[in-house]
Amino acid sequence: MDKTSKILITGAAGMIGGSLARLLEQKGFSDLLLPAHAELDLTDNRAVQAYFAAARPDYVFHLAARVGGIHANANQPARFVYDNTAMQMNVIEAARAGGVTKLLLPGSACAYPRLAPQPVKETEFLNGAPEPTNIAYAAAKINGIVMAQAYAREYGMRVVIPMPTNGYGIGNNFDPAAAHVIPALMRRFHDARESGAPEAVIWGSGTPVREFIYADDVASAFLFLMEKYDSPDIINVGTGEEIDVLSLAKMIAETAGYEGKIVTDPSRPDGMPRKVLDSGRLRALGWRPAVTLREGIRRMYRHHFGAARMAGRGAGRTAQSA
């Protein structure tokens, strides 16, 4: 890639796409294609083919996706499968037909088997069934990975398939019906503090262990891989920093200045018991994350809700769990 390359980012209005667009602009890339949904419906094959023929991008980051947490996956499985499969199918074929130099199409950690040995290595892909609570999204991602690798084999397409862990950051979706765990908890504790609620309930037992990565670090890793990695073999993108959900909730509550009781609800689904990636291959190439989980949460809260409350009422007291 050089600074005059024509670079298409699908999903540029989203969290990761927005971070990547800002990063590329900061680095002096001058010809970015950032079509909004109103300009380009990626589920429409003819529209996608026409856009690629007219715009003729050199590099494509396909970051558009229908995403959401356990609640959204459970209530809209058909939309998750259809929209994500259609979008990536159309983009991959249009990239091939248009002679794109290189395509980056992310997979997702949820595409790995539910009971894969932890931390999960890339070789675990397709070695077992995914977590049932996000099977629709995982199935679409698996299809995209297999399709991209098939195009690499049959047509010689240059594709990059990063497997990022759970992303969060500025631009996250805070809709209670669709939010992932960090924005959902952030909204819950912020609202609880504002209303003076004596307790706040979190889904599940609080025991599942997760790994999270700040959106700017995901963008940094994607750009690094587009420039330096030239293989269709999937490659994990994580931080190696893991935390159980209850400890995460306490961290977010402290950031939001919430001092009430945190109550777990074991009747709600937990999802995978532990999901942490082995990102040794990426680190061996020379990439490292720059933002810790605590710092990322602080930045995100400050952006979406104003100044962080870590030293708020109670002279440093933190929320207590039930």
| Catalytic site positions | 137
Would you say how long the chain is, in residues?
A: 322
**Three-state secondary-structure class, residue 102:** strand
CA angle, 105 then 108 then 112, to 5°: 130
Residue with tokens 């590099």: 59
| Residue type at position 265 | D
From residue 48, alpha-carbon distances to 12, 13, 42, 53, 156 in Å are 16, 17, 6, 9, 21
Q: What DSSP element (H or E) covers 31? A: strand 31-33
| Helix pair 245-256, 293-305: axis angle to 10 deg | 40
Tokens representing 300? 């995100």
Q: Look up residue 154 and give its DSSP letter.
A: H
CA angle, 110 then 39 then 144, to 5°: 25
From residue 128, alpha-carbon distances to 23, 99, 110, 208 in Å are 36, 35, 12, 19
**Three-state secondary-structure class, residue 15:** helix
CA angle, 166 then 20 then 187, to 5°: 45
Q: Count the neighbouring beta carbons within 10 Å of the beta carbon of residue 195.
A: 10
Say how far apart CA 187 and CA 270 lie, in whole Å. 19
The answer to whether 162 touches 225, Cβ cutoff 8 Å, is: yes
